[in-house]
């Protein structure tokens, strides 16, 4: 007997002694009893709690070092004890006996499963997202030769089994061996994929996953969507290199599953709850005391997305959705849905892509440069008027109609009709602004940039370039670029760059030539030319024309042209290079100094003309310069003319700041500037201006549609756009907050979602095994799924939700796998109107491109519109300002986010009963709405009746009541009525009509009846084909139709097969 065998035997004896002698708290031999029940239950394993093993130090140490050896010893020890009691059963299951380890303490995240833990036992938590079909795995393969000899090949570690090349019998040389399935031993085998829980995912990271091999009775224990704690041993598998015999050095990690525990409910699948839902006794006391407070309902609503002001009814509805009602199962097995579905429709408020936004360090960038894809996650800190905040999501929308707003200083902003800007009267949409309204602007852009920006210049020509390539945008390069922005140009052939220096400014020529040599190492071609200058009056009265001379400097280099590519657009399209916007203040000052030298002027004479001026034919350049001047707190105004526009600096404080931070190079302009500064200090030192607000002087409704952009800033919801305070998008943030605080919540976007991604899909693994992969609604089982951009989904993908939203299940039949998965989830969906802006003169079904059957599956539908009022704007303004105070009394009533989640989780345990009072109120409302004789008839269906019951029950749950009383019923009725008054008003009659949500408002039904009656009378008894011209004429005569409406109705009835075209241009009823 070897030392290793002795050690193994001793370990088995030690474990057998532990199992036989261990007593639990009640004094019973716990594991002996479990082993005794194995035969009665026909099981092949027992579960050992690791906390019990801790008392055996030697076993524990061995467990951490050699888990395989300990698990083998456990199986042998169990067999030995079982053999004493049931020898026949022990012999029968001898090779299949094993132990499962529960409550293993060494828990790692999926990100910590790496090469260091190979061969070690570990415990990981995650969500099952994929499960393969169950297949038999050969544990012991038996081969038979033609002479009947048997050759046994046991399974190696992993899934590899080596086929024998010849018979194992000594005297047999047969090589034709075939598998003998009757004598071979197989076990059930399955692969599942475990993925990080959504709430554990670090910001901006992709979820990690690991494949897990499950054997024997563990198969099919966990299904896609289950949240589990998996205990197992980390293994490796070699990566396959297809088409070659070379073995790869790369391996992939997998876990060999030993035990599965469901999060929260240890062991029992029916009572499983996620860790976020586990509530301690202390937390339970806090929750119960909260429920007893008289204002708990208002506090709960106020604690939901507190950073988003207003929308109280929508927040209340989402709260009820998160708590939900209870699912009812009838005697025949039919299930009545308990989950609530809510649908939000809102306009996307966005800005033009070239809008300049300011980052936290002072860099100025285009809004469109912050991301590439719609709903892309970003992490960018952006400035607002009091500081900065983080933008988390990038938005992009196509084909949106826009408005341009221009202020008195020449600032402009282009955005969608509903994009809000901050005025003296609070936030207002662009389409609500009027000339004379005052917008909040900034007076200074703080900058902390220290480093130069790399140039990214390179050689573009095939021939050798003998010049230099500047590496960074420093003060010298910025100066050269500044002068060329004003007095430089690029030849149309794209091979030459020129600039001119006038006779009056000859002192600038040598510094510029030296800059060009230092930067590019090239000698330019220099030439002079004269042209008739101004008329000069001589002392003797004669008038002569003085000839002026300019020096032309030319760099003949394609590479230099590409380096200074901002000159290519011509004078009208001239702009500040993007690298200058991202440079430190010293570089910006150098650029501005030389730009003003080229095209700037100083007026120091005349009462109304004292100013610093920059002239250009490019309004874009002047607006760029206006933004750059704010780096130094310099106020400027743009005055537009047809022949060219001017940027002027007139205010005394700004003139002084310009002289201090920017200045001029030439002696003439520097001298004039000094005179201007003295005047400013003497006469304008006490001048005061309201620089924080600017009046709107022009509003342009642009005819073209364009791509627009926005970002989500979860806390403050605002940023600076072209120097103006702008609001960010908030509709998506409401959904994300919901997914974040819900006990089990998932967020997805309709733009990138397919039917398979939402429900379930069958995929083929690398090993060739078909696997069932869960989609969002299955993973969100017993929770909620937030679907943003619901309107961007393809119709065939969206149709997959019909079953989910009513039957609460997701069925799939593909690749031989037929399954129905639980999808007991609430759906919170948000969509944008069909044409970018919600049209209040159209019904909701005309505004949203969604099929009617899907729309009717939502219990509540709300249109998220910012309809301003003075009181509301004042509240929003106070709310925004209050968020920037160090302590705000309003936040004291808010409930902590963690407690908020636990409170919602606790509420879901309650199952309130409907009282006769609540029943009576709901029934009374339902019958009132069903009353056909009423003129204000609303065609309420039993589906809305179910919605009323669900909402009333959810409110009782939220308030932790045992009974659904009349107050809950009243509130449910109020919410349904609010929805009808918001989204269920027929625009034709102005009356509430649920038929609007079903695509057929009462006004249209009566129109339809009139349409068919007119056609019937024209047909007569002989069913004569009716000519379209005559038909339209008769419809118009009724005064219920215009000519266009009549023709549209004919086309619609043709589509719906209510009428048919019996011959060209003639119609009959079907």
Q: The domain spanning residue 146 has which CATH number?
A: 2.40.50.140
* Burial class of residue 152 (count of CB atoms within 10 Å of its CB; 0-12, 13-18, 19+): middle
Contact 814, 756 (CB under 8 A): no
Pairing mode of beta strands 227-238, 251-262: antiparallel
What's the chain's average pLDDT? Answer: 78
Do the Cβ atoms of 683 and 651 come closer than 8 Å?
A: no
**What share of the chain in percent tops pLDDT 90?**
9
Give the pLDDT mean for 215-230. 79
Q: What is the CATH number of the domain that holds 990?
A: 1.10.8.60
pLDDT at site 891? 44
Interatomic CA distance for residues 142 and 148, integer angstroms: 11
Handedness of CA 507, 510, 513, 518 (dihedral sign): negative
Query: Do 958 and 1016 belong to one domain?
Result: no
Query: Does residue 890 lie within any of the structural domains?
Result: no
**What pLDDT band is residue 986 in, cutting at 50, 70 and 90?**
low
534 and 605 together in one domain: yes
pLDDT at residue 322 above 90?
no
Nearest CA among 1017, 1061, 1023 for reference residue 1038? 1017
Would residue 289 count as lying in a domain?
no
pLDDT exceeds cutoff 60 at 876: no
Q: What pLDDT, on a 0 to 100 scale, did the predictor assign at position 356?
A: 92
Mean pLDDT within 601-614 = 80
- Cα torsion 896, 899, 900, 906 to 10°: value is -170
Q: Is the pLDDT of residue 626 over 90?
A: yes
Same domain, 5 and 83: yes
Is residue 195, in this structure, part of any structural domain at all?
Answer: yes
DSSP 495: S
- pLDDT at position 347 is 67
The phi, psi pair for 758, rounded to 5°, reads -85, -40
Give tens-digit pLDDT for 447-469.
999 999 998 888 877 677 778 88
In-domain check, residue 901: no
Within this chain, do residues 379 and 420 fall inside the same structural domain, yes or no? yes
Report how far residue 1069's alpha carbon sits from residue 673's, in angstroms, rounded to the nearest whole number: 86
Q: Say if residue 581 is in the same domain as residue 474.
A: yes
**From CA 628, how far away is CA 670, in angstroms rounded?**
21
Please report, for the domain that includes residue 489, its CATH number.
3.10.28.10
Q: Is residue 877 part of a domain?
A: no
The tens digit of pLDDT for each residue in 248-279 reads 677 778 888 888 877 643 333 344 444 445 67
Same domain, 711 and 763: no
Tell me how far apart the alpha carbons of residues 962 and 970 are, in angstroms, rounded to a whole number.
17
Which among 867, 898, 931 is the end of a domain? 867
Q: Does 507 share its domain with 380?
A: no
Question: Of 368, 384, 370, 380, which Cα lies nearest the Cα of 422?
Answer: 384
User: 672 and 816 share a domain?
Assistant: no
Query: Do 356 and 471 reside in the same domain of the chain?
Result: no
Buried b (16+ CB within 10 A) or exposed e, 334-373: eeebbbbbbbbbbbbbbbbbebbbbbeebbbbebbebbee
HEC string of 382-415? Answer: EECCCCEEEEEEEEEEEEEEEEEEEECCCCEEEE
DSSP string, 922-966: HHHHHHHHH-TTSTT-----HHHHHHHHHHHHHHHHHTT-SEE-H
| Rg (alpha carbons) of the chain, rounded to whole number | 39
Q: Which of 103, 124, 146 is the last residue of a domain?
A: 103
Structure confidence by residue, pLDDT tens digits, 520-549: 888 888 888 776 655 555 556 666 555 677
Residue the block writes with tokens 């989402």: 318
| Last-in-domain residue among 702, 728, 754 | 728
Tell me what the mean pLDDT of segment 60-74 comes to: 82
Residue 745 sits in the same domain as residue 621: no
State the pLDDT at residue 273.
44
Query: Comparing 796-800, 961-965, 1010-1014, which segment has the lowest mean pLDDT?
Result: 796-800
Which is it for strands 860-864 and 826-831: parallel, antiparallel or unpaired? unpaired
152-182 pLDDT, tens per residue?
Answer: 777 665 566 677 778 877 778 777 788 887 7
Per-residue pLDDT at 934 exceeds 60: no
Residues 6+ apart with CB under 8 A from 438: 423, 424, 693, 694, 695, 696
Grouping H, G, I as helix, E, B as strand and the rest as coil, residue 449 is coil
What is residue 504's DSSP assignment? G
Structural domain range at position 19:
1-103
Chain centre distance of CA 256: 35
- Is 898 inside a domain boundary? no
Model pLDDT, residue 871? 47
pLDDT of residue 28: 80
Instruction: Encode pLDDT of 274-306 as tens digits.
Output: 444 567 777 778 888 887 888 888 888 887 777
Identify whether 966 is part of a domain: yes
Q: How far is residue 972's CA from residue 978's CA, in Å, rounded to a whole number?
A: 10
Bridge partners, residue 428, by sequence: 421
557-582 per-position pLDDT tens digit: 888 888 888 777 777 778 899 899 99
Residue 495's alpha-carbon distances to 367, 471, 568, in angstroms, are: 32, 22, 11
Give pLDDT, residue 529.
Answer: 77
Rounded CA-CA distance 188/138 in Å is: 9
Checking DSSP bridges between strand 543-556 and strand 525-537, what pairing results, if any? antiparallel
Percent of the chain with pLDDT strictly greater than 70: 81
First CA to last CA distance, the chain? 95
Q: Are residues 586 and 629 in the same domain?
A: yes
Instruction: Mark whether 468 and 566 lie in a shared domain.
Output: yes
Q: For residue 99, give the CATH number of its domain.
A: 3.30.1640.10
Q: Are 872 and 428 in contact, with CB atoms under 8 Å apart?
A: no
The total domain count for the chain is: 7
Question: Is this model's pTM higher than 0.85 or not?
Answer: no
Q: What is the pLDDT of residue 872?
A: 44
Contact by Cβ (8 Å): 11, 72: no
Longest CA pairwise span in the chain (Å):
138
What pLDDT is stored for residue 478 in this prediction?
Answer: 92
Residue 905 lies in a domain: no
Q: What is the CATH number of the domain that holds 762?
A: 3.40.50.300
Q: Which residue has the higher pLDDT, 757 or 245?
A: 757
């Amino acid at each position: 007997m070897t030392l290793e065998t002795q050690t193994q035997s001793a370990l088995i004896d030690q474990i057998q002694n532990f199992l036989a002698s261990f007593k639990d708290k009640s004094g019973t031999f716990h594991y002996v009893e479990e082993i005794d029940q194995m035969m009665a239950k026909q099981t092949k394993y027992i579960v050992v709690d690791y906390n019990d093993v801790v008392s055996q130090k030697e076993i524990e140490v061995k467990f951490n070092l050699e888990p395989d050896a300990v698990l083998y010893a456990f199986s042998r020890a169990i067999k030995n004890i079982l053999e004493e009691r049931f020898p026949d059963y022990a012999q029968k299951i001898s090779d299949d006996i094993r132990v499962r380890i529960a409550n293993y303490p060494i828990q790692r995240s999926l990100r910590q499963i790496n090469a260091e833990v190979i061969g070690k036992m570990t415990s990981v938590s995650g969500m099952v997202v994929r499960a393969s079909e169950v297949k038999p795995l050969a544990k012991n393969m038996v081969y038979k030769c033609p002479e009947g000899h048997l050759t046994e090949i046991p399974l190696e570690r992993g899934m590899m089994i080596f086929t024998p090349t010849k018979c194992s019998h000594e005297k047999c040389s047969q090589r034709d061996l075939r598998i003998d399935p009757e004598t071979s031993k197989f076990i059930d085998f399955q692969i599942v994929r475990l993925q990080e829980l959504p709430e554990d995912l670090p910001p901006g990271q992709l979820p990690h996953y690991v494949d897990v091999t499950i054997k024997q009775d563990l198969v099919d224990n966990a299904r896609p969507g289950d949240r589990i704690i998996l205990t197992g041993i980390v293994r490796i598998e070699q990566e396959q290199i297809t088409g070659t015999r070379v073995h790869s050095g790369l391996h992939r990690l997998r876990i060999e599953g030993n035990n599965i525990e469901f999060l929260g409910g240890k062991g029992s699948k029916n009572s499983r709850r996620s860790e976020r839902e586990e509530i301690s006794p202390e937390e339970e006391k806090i929750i119960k005391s909260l429920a007893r407070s008289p204002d708990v309902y208002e506090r709960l609503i106020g604690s939901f997305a507190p950073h988003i002001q207003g929308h109280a009814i929508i927040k209340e509805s989402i709260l009820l959705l998160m708590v939900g009602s209870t699912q009812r199962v009838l005697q025949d097995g039919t299930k009545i849905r308990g989950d609530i579905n809510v649908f939000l429709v809102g306009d996307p408020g966005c800005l033009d892509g070239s809008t300049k936004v300011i980052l936290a360090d002072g860099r100025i960038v285009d809004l469109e440069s912050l991301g590439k894809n719609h709903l892309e996650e970003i992490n960018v800190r952006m400035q607002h008027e009091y500081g900065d905040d983080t933008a988390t999501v990038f938005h992009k929308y196509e084909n949106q109609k826009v408005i341009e707003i221009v202020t008195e200083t020449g600032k402009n902003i282009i955005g969608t009709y509903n994009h809000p800007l901050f005025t003296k009267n609070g936030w207002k949409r662009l389409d609500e602004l009027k000339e004379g309204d005052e917008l909040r602007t900034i007076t200074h852009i703080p900058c902390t940039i220290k480093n130069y920006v790399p140039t990214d210049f390179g050689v573009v020509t095939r021939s050798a370039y003998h010049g230099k390539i500047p590496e960074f945008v420093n003060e010298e390069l910025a100066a050269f670029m500044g002068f060329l922005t004003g007095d430089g140009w690029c030849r149309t052939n794209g091979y030459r760059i020129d600039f001119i220096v006038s006779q009056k400014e000859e002192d600038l020529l040598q510094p510029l030539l030296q800059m060009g040599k230092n930067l590019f190492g090239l000698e330019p071609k220099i030439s002079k030319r004269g042209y008739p200058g101004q008329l000069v009056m001589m002392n003797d009265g004669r008038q002569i024309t003085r000839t002026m001379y300019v020096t032309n400097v030319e760099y003949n280099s394609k590479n230099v042209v590409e380096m200074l590519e901002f000159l290519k657009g011509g004078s009208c399209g001239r702009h500040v290079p993007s690298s200058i916007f991202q440079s430190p203040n010293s570089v910006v000052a150098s650029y501005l100094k030389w730009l003003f030298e080229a095209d700037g002027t100083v007026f120091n004479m005349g009462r109304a003309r004292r100013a610093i001026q920059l002239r250009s034919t490019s309004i874009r350049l002047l607006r760029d310069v206006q933004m750059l001047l704010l780096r130094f707190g310099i106020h400027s105004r743009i005055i537009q003319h047809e022949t060219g526009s001017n940027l002027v600096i007139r205010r005394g404080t700004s003139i002084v700041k310009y002289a201090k931070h920017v200045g001029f190079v030439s002696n003439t302009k520097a001298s004039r500037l000094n005179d201007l500064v003295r005047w400013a200090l003497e006469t304008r030192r006490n001048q005061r201006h309201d620089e924080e607000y600017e009046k709107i002087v022009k509003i342009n409704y642009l005819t073209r549609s364009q791509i627009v952009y926005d970002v989500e800033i979860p806390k403050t919801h605002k940023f600076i756009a072209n120097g103006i305070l702008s609001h960010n998008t908030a509709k998506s943030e409401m959904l994300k907050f919901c997914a974040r605080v819900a006990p089990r919540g998932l967020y997805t976007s309709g733009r990138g979602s397919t039917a398979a991604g939402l429900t379930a899909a069958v995929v083929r693994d690398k090993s060739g095994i078909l696997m069932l992969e869960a989609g969002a609604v299955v993973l969100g089982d017993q929770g909620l799924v937030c679907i943003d951009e619901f309107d961007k989904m393809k119709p065939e993908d969206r149709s997959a939700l019909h079953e989910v939203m009513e039957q609460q299940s997701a069925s799939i039949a593909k690749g031989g796998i037929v399954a129905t998965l639980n999808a007991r989830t609430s759906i919170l969906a948000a969509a944008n109107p069909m044409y970018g802006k919600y049209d209040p003169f159209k019904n909701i079904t005309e505004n949203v491109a969604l099929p009617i059957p899907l729309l009717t599956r939502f219990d509540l539908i709300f249109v998220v519109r910012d309809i301003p009022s003075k009181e509301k704007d004042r509240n929003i303004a106070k709310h925004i300002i209050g968020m920037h105070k160090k302590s705000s009394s309003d936040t004291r009533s808010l409930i902590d986010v963690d407690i908020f989640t636990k409170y919602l989780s606790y509420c879901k345990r309650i199952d309130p009963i409907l009282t006769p009072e609540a029943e009576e109120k709901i029934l009374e409302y339902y019958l009132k709405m069903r009353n056909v004789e009423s003129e204000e008839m609303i065609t309420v269906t039993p589906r809305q009746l179910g919605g009323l019951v669900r909402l009333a029950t959810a409110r009782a749950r939220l308030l932790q009541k045992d009974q659904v009383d009349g107050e809950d019923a009243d509130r449910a009725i109020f919410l349904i009525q609010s929805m009808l008054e918001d989204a269920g008003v027929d625009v034709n009659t102005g009356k509430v009509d649920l038929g609007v949500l079903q695509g057929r408002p009462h006004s249209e039904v009566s129109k339809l009846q009139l349409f068919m009656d007119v056609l019937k009378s024209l047909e007569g008894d002989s069913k004569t084909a009716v000519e379209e011209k005559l038909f339209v004429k008769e419809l118009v005569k009724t005064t219920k139709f215009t000519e266009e409406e009549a023709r549209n109705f004919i086309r619609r009835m043709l589509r719906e097969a209510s009428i048919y075209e019996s011959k060209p241009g003639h119609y009959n009823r079907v």
